[in-house]
Amino acid sequence: MKRISIIALVALLGLFAAGSREAAAQSYSNLGNKTYDYSVFRIGIQGGWGYRVYSLSPDLPDYEVSNQNKLKSGIAFGADATWFFSKDMGLGLRYHTMFSSNTITLPSSDAISTIQRQKEDVELTYLAPQLSTRYLFLDRHSVTIDISVGYLTYRDYKDYFLRESDYRVNGSTLGYAGNVGYDFAISPRFAVGASCNIVIGTLKKIKLGGHGKYDEVPLDKEDYISLNHLTLTAGLRFTL
């Protein structure tokens, strides 16, 4: 629900700003193209695939290596809104989430022990203001490049079946991101597009616990958690 609310907020901000579009667009009225080039506001929603980029400790057991490799990839979705104060430059807000999940069977110490299964969910969320540049060509085509610095969060939840136990890791840090996107205008107000997004961040302390009780734990340098990840997404663009 929180993610849906953020996406809805981004869309509402863009719609609210639409009232000033005509005045802002007048400076472009003599440039000729009415299809896509001179939109002042751009709102995007997208979804696709994400992949985390980090190395695994050589000390991990085989079952955990397999688990971590599966958790590296997952689904990604998000939204962004940009106000272009000139034909080529703009300011905006970007939000996206990457989510991955896996379930494994933990090895038992003897054949009599109850088989124990573990479900692990990992979520990365990024929210930031962004600076955008836009290149318009061939009437309906557009390439955007965005850079941003913002709030990057990490959540790792482990639930153990057959026993009342869980394990939670939370944390947040400063994140840096770059995005390259391509849009194709279907109409003056609607486009489809694809984008590649790279986010960089490192977690140096975490909140560790379960059942609502957490302790803040600083990490040694060799235990820092890399939040670096790449997303490839496609979606809809609305221009005003």
pLDDT bin (cut points 50, 70, 90) of residue 109 is low
Q: Is 128 exposed, middle or buried (0-12, 13-18, 19+ CB in 10 A)?
A: buried
193 HSE (CA, 13 A, CB side) = 27
pLDDT tens, position by position, 60-74: 888 889 899 999 999
Q: Quick one: CA dihedral 64, 65, 67, 71, positive or negative? A: positive
C-beta atoms surrounding 152 within 10 Å: 24
Average pLDDT over residues 218-237: 96
CATH architecture, domain 2-239? Beta Barrel (2.40)
pLDDT of residue 105: 83
Cβ neighbour number for residue 148 with a 10 Å cutoff: 22
Annotated domain spans of the chain:
2-239
pLDDT given for residue 59 in this prediction = 85
- Tell me, yes or no, if the pTM score tops 0.85: no
- Read off the pLDDT of residues 138-195 as tens digits, 9 standing for 90 and up: 889 999 999 999 999 999 998 877 555 678 999 999 999 999 999 999 998 999 999 9
pLDDT at position 27 is 35
DSSP class per residue in 133-162: EEEEETTTEEEEEEEEEEEEEEEEEEEETT
